[in-house]
Structure 1
Amino acid sequence: MDWLTVALLLLFGLVFLAAEVIFIPGTTVVGLLGFALLAAGVWFAYRDLGSGTGHVLLASSVVVAGLLVYVGLRPKNLARVALNDVNSGHVRDARLPDVQPGTTGRTLSALRPAGTVLFAENRREVTTRGEFVAAGTEVRVLRIEQNRIVVESVA
């Protein structure tokens, strides 16, 4: 192989390593391909261009790859691609109901046997034990069964 092939292998190896470290961190495939191209370029340099040239290319490849890793892993560069936003949202846990047994509310729809009830300012889907309850009727929570609120008419 001639010197141009060795130079292209080293160049593309360094470009792929730079892409892995700086532009698309975490993909691994591009970095491994870059490392393989660098290793092939250094091996061909030793084989075809002699050990003196091989030593020089090996040392320069290690130095340039080390600089790329150093530049890519600086905290300033990592902050550009890192997720810095904090998610402060929350989900109501159905296992810890906010409507306790004995709470009263008013039906917004007819319960046949399921429907919607307004507890204070919270709308909840509820069910009865089988009876029908008209809209606008006051109901009381009997129990919470897993993810169902069971109510009965207060009247």
Structure 2
Amino acid sequence: MLTIALLLLFGLLFLAAEVIFIPGTTVVGFVGFALLAWGVWLSYHDLGTPAGHYALAGAGALAGMVLYLGLRPKNLARAALHSVSEGSVRDVRRADVPAGTLGHTLSALRPAGTVLFGEERREAVTRGEFVDAGRAVRVLGIEQNRIVVEGA
């Protein structure tokens, strides 16, 4: 009798933990459902049909109540993320280094390296030619997220 009660109790606790505290993992929910099913089966097997019916009805009613209380919109809102990130990332696809801009290489471009445009260090590539460090380069354009330059 104690084993059946503990199986049903832990099954409900695992089910409540799945619904209320850690939604979306499904493993804890499956374990809770398995414990509930095992407890109901043991109650039918060891205590007889009337006790099994009571265990099934009680476990079903309590599991339904846990699901109803856990899935109410008010309770779900407590677990939802409400803050909005206002941060941004500088995207090299934007034309902040327009075609024709002049810069100087900080490292050798073989064919990629670092170029200084005004005060900004940026990664750039050539179309295959090598450019030594300290040389002037001119931006040809931006292709596939890369600044393409040539020796000026």
Measured against the shorter chain, the TM-score band is 0.7 to 0.9
Q: Structure 1: where are the runs of 5+ without partners?
A: none
Q: Structure 2: where are the runs of 5+ without partners?
A: none
Counterpart for residue 73 of structure 1: 71
Counterpart for residue 4 of structure 1: 2
Counterpart for residue 150 of structure 1: 149
Counterpart for residue 57 of structure 1: 55
RMSD: 2.9
The answer (yes or no) to whether the contact 1:126–1:151 under 8 Å persists in 2 is no
Once the two structures are superposed, residues 84-121 of structure 1 have per-residue CA deviations (whole angstroms, 9 ceiling, x without a partner) of 3334444445556542322334x3x65645542225x6
Q: Distance in 2 between matches of 1:63 and 1:57?
A: 10
Counterpart for residue 117 of structure 1: 116
Between Structure 1 and Structure 2, whose CA radius of gyration is higher?
A: 1
Q: Distance in 1 between matches of 2:125 and 2:38?
A: 71
DSSP-derived class of the 1:69 partner? helix
Q: Distance in 2 between matches of 1:40 and 1:117?
A: 69
Counterpart for residue 103 of structure 1: 101
7 and 133 in structure 1: CA distance in 2 versus 1, 3 angstrom threshold = closer
Q: Distance in 2 between matches of 1:131 and 1:40?
A: 73
Q: Which one-letter code corresponds to 1:14 in the other structure?
A: L
Identity %: 55
When the two structures are superposed, what TM-score results if normalisation uses the length of structure 2?
0.74
100 and 19 in structure 1: CA distance in 2 versus 1, 3 angstrom threshold = same
5 and 125 in structure 1: CA distance in 2 versus 1, 3 angstrom threshold = closer
Alignment coverage as a number of residue pairs? 146
Counterpart for residue 86 of structure 1: 84
24 and 115 in structure 1: CA distance in 2 versus 1, 3 angstrom threshold = closer
Q: Distance in 2 between matches of 1:145 and 1:39?
A: 60
Query: Runs (4+) of structure 1 moved beyond 3 Å?
Result: 87-98, 109-115, 125-135, 142-146
Q: Which one-letter code corresponds to 2:148 in the other structure?
A: I
Once the two structures are superposed, residues 17-63 of structure 1 have per-residue CA deviations (whole angstroms, 9 ceiling, x without a partner) of 11111112122121111111111111121222122222122111111
Q: Which one-letter code corresponds to 1:38 in the other structure?
A: L
